[in-house]
Amino acid sequence: MTKKVAVILSGCGVYDGAEIHESVITLLRLDQRGAQVQCFAPNIPQLHVIDHLTGEQTSETRNVLVESARIARGQVKDIREADVSEFDALIVPGGFGAAKNLSNFAVEGDKCTVQPEVLALAEAFAEAGKPVGLMCISPALAAKIYGPGVVCTIGNDAGTSAAVVKMGGTHEECDVHDIVEDTQRKLVTTPAYMLATSISDAASGINKLVDRVLELTHANDH
């Protein structure tokens, strides 16, 4: 049975949107495993635009949905169109967009809030008991989605893991090549570029995350 997976993108580019390598590796692995994928993104302005050559902020304005379409080759929908009942799982690649556009974690840290449409969709997957995969900085949002006690990883960054704990999460240190699973909540997390020093590093954990998320979708098959 073909599994349908929703992927939330947060723009295009590591410093102000979705991490492109993480997003592409995720989409590639899902396709290799025979999953049917639909990308979504919130139709909102980006927090800001970063020149990825210089690292400097520019005076441009960009839209998260429009920028996400670059990665999805145009095949992306407004997150308001996402219906949890049509999907078996949800995956959110990282990149600063997860902390700047899908939430305000980059600015507010442990006092952050998640963008309302993103939160509503993620909570719907959680409440339906459907597996969710979060990678890189995205697991910083886990406690906001699942509430206190959720188990996740962002690797071993002290500042970020401390913020996760302050929000009520349980942080487990994790190697870039591995995943952490909250079995009760069917949440799978991996550090990806929070630790990766190469695209192969990132891919090893991401592939495991995608594989495990898809395995968990079969737990309900009869």
Mean pLDDT of 127-139: 98
Rounded mean pLDDT of the chain?
Answer: 97
What residue ranges define each of the domains in the chain, with the CATH number in brackets?
4-220 (3.40.50.880)
Confidence label for 213 from pLDDT (cuts 50, 70 and 90): very high
* Catalytic-residue membership of 136: yes
Q: What is the DSSP string of 137-162?
A: TGGGGHHHHH-TT-EE---S-HHHHH
Examine the pLDDT at 195 and tell me if it is beyond 60: yes
Catalytic residue among 12, 39, 112, 136: 136
User: What pLDDT, on the 0 to 100 scale, is given for residue 28?
Assistant: 98
Residues 184, 188, 190, 194: is their CA dihedral positive or negative? negative
Contact 71, 18 (CB under 8 A): yes
pLDDT above 60 (res 222):
no
Cα–Cα nearest to 130, from 206, 187, 80: 187
Are 133 and 213 a contacting pair, CB within 8 Å? Answer: yes
Instruction: State pTM to two decimals.
Output: 0.97
Across the range 99-128, mean pLDDT stands at 98
Is the model's pLDDT at 112 over the cut of 60? Answer: yes
- List beta partners, residue 189: 134, 180
